[in-house]
A and B are shown apart, each in its own frame.
Chain A
Amino acid sequence: MALGAAKTFVPGEILLAADLNTLNTNILNNALTLISPLLADLDANGFDLTGLDELAFTDSTANPTGTGRLRRNGLVLAWAVEDARTNTVARALILQATTTGVPAAGIGTGLLFRMESADEDPADAAEIQCVASDVTAGSEDTEFRVFTRTGGAAPTENVTFRGDGGIFFARADPATPAAGRLYRGNFVRAWGNVSITPTLNDSYNITSVADAGVGLVTITFATDFTNATYAAVGAISQGSAVVGFDNFAAGTVRATLSDNAAVLTDFSFTFMAIGDQ
């Protein structure tokens, strides 16, 4: 009993209005003392709890006991659900941030990770944002942007997993790249397999190949490089012959094909190019 009786009557006692009022007021004025702390589970019966400031969980150090329950396991807030699926994905958590305005490209919802640094408590450390790059009805595109910190600055866009299947690198390459990492600067930007005709048999980021004379093929990129100092390498599908590249421009490069006597000759060849876009 959290709330004590204001008065305990004894047999034969004259019932005074003041006593009855006190009894009544004791309950009416101490509703929280009456129910808090709870003595049993509180059944909200489908109604809402509103106007909350904080919810504080005890540390149960165990999973929630049923589906649809939140529990604290040490430092972990565990949301547990159970269904009958066997090999599909259950969407266990939804972050929904809608708007009263008119949505435009760039609207999104984020999940922020905070911890603590030497001088910040808490410190915003990293964020995953899902952003709609196109909000046009029926043709929506979305992407995941990963934000991290560098040099003490607030988290900024770092790597983005785009809706078109690509990974975008927002930051410039470091002076000394770490081993085994993919950066903006170290993946192939264009490649192609060209027949003797010349015809583009297969390619990536190539608009066309064009005959520029005997043993000369102009390659046109779909998305240009930002300069003419990118690297292009290739090989001819025949021994004792070589391919070189010249006439480097942001949007095109020329392949030069020669036989083993250094005579320009048409060959089929393959190539790849890498550089700044």
Chain B
Amino acid sequence: MSARHEMTHAGISFRQGWRFSITPFRLVLMAISAISLALIMFRLITGLGLVTNLNDSWPWAYGFPLTSCAASPWRAAATAPP
């Protein structure tokens, strides 16, 4: 992976330089990137509420593991009527 000799300002030539071989690990990384990009788009369209499962009465903490579960005592404490 070296492109130093053929790089010019006007037209970038990669004749000698760039090689990008697909390895299994890189496939995994690309999959993670693809999922992340999809999640970013989803979050920008729907807003933070749906993605984080947080709301005005439970505005902080990492929402999913503890509070997305309906039986969670945390969730019960947060949403219980006063």
A binds B: no
| B residues at A contact (CB < 8 Å) | none
| A residues at B contact (CB < 8 Å) | none
